[in-house]
Amino acid sequence: MQVAKKKMGKEVWDCLKSRFMGAERVRDAQLQMLKSEFDALKMGQDEALNDYAGKLTSMSVKFSNLGSMLEDMAMVKKLFDIVSEKFINVVAGIEQFYDLKTVQFEEAVGHLKTFEERTRRGAGSSKTEGGQLLFTQSEWEERKRKATGDLSGRSRTSEGSRGRGWG
């Protein structure tokens, strides 16, 4: 409508040029804000992997809506840099055995989800057939120490067990 009022080709061109130059500047400013938002993203300690991966995917969609591209390599790097500590061993393994320049974001998330599922299943199997909970020696000593109120960091059983070759 704005162009329809123009009579000369040069006027039309100047109008379109100024309009789209402004739009390009706005788009560039929005991309800069989005990049800052992407850099500031952090995964909360209790945040689920799916939620964080969803945030990264959402950022990728926002980038593409602005005519830019958030590469898989950047998303994988961000994912690996920010995931909680329980995933550190998995990230190290992936970094060691895969070329991070070619790993797709969905593949990286899949590896982390597999690990999360295995550890979740493993945590549920700490009971015996009789329903008794099994502890490692250090977990048992820590539990006992808390129950007796011993704040020295060592339980009496660990001190007493040294003579018997247990610890």
How large is the angle between the packed helices 49-65 and 72-82, nearest 10 degrees?
150
pLDDT one-digit tens code per residue, 101-123: 999 999 999 999 999 888 887 76
The per-residue pLDDT for range 55-108, each reduced to its tens digit, is 999 999 999 988 889 999 999 999 999 888 888 899 999 999 999 899 999 999
Residues 6 or more apart whose Cβ sits within 8 Å of residue 9: none
CB neighbours of residue 135 within 10 Å? 13
Tokens found for residue 69: 């591209």
SS3 letters across 51-90: HHHHHHHHHHHHHHHCCCCCCHHHHHHHHHHHCCHHHHHH
Q: pLDDT tens, 7-58?
A: 778 887 777 767 666 677 788 888 999 999 999 988 877 888 889 899 999 9
* Nearest by Cα to 71 from 33, 118, 105, 121: 105
Domain positions in the chain: 1-40, 46-134
